[in-house]
Amino acid sequence: MAADSIRERLILADKAILDGLSFIKTVERRLPSYKDLQNFALTQLPVAAIVGRIPKPTNKVSTRTGQVDQIISELRVDIYVFLQENESADSAISNHLDDLWPKLYADPTRGRLCMFTALEATENTETWPPFVAFQLTCVHNYQHSTGGI
């Protein structure tokens, strides 16, 4: 299946960044359950799950006839990183977030797919012993036509 929507191409661009990180061993396009995490081998961890939300139109550009031609939308792509860490979870999260941050900001236009990207880190970390997780959201603002997302 070809990635024809800008939404899908942005998600795949974020996924490619995650795939290129040596410390992320597995990248999934769905949020794993606790049971799924238990089935990963230690060599497959950390796992990054990437889940795109539905674009939210923020601005519409009309022609002189009043017909909407272009839409500026915000696409939020959530990245959840799951680690197996028993003793120093806070340090592990800090180190991984520090590694992710510059990589996700290296090309804020994702190859000119969007106008810019901003990152949001979620403070509340989840734990399911022996797993710990944190969330980072890529907020992409992009322009598209009324013919697709």
Give pLDDT, residue 54: 97
pTM listed for this prediction: 0.91
pLDDT at 2 over 70: no
Cα(97)–Cα(91) distance, integer angstroms? 10
Give pLDDT, residue 115: 97
Residues in the chain, how many?
A: 149
Inter-residue contact 141 to 83 (CB < 8 Å)? no
**Confidence band for 107, pLDDT divided at 50, 70 and 90:** very high
pLDDT at 125 over 80: no
Give pLDDT, residue 130: 86
Say which residue the tokens 């012993």 belong to: 129
Tokens of 109: 């236009």
* Domain over 36-144 is classified CATH 3.30.2000: yes
Inter-residue contact 1 to 11 (CB < 8 Å)? no
Give pLDDT, residue 31: 94
Give pLDDT, residue 60: 86
Q: For 8-30, how does the pLDDT look when each residue is reduced to its tens digit (9 = 90+)?
A: 999 999 999 999 999 999 999 99
Q: For 55-106, how does the pLDDT look when each residue is reduced to its tens digit (9 = 90+)?
A: 999 998 777 677 778 899 999 999 999 999 878 888 999 999 999 999 999 9
Give pLDDT, residue 68: 77
pLDDT at 50 over 90: yes
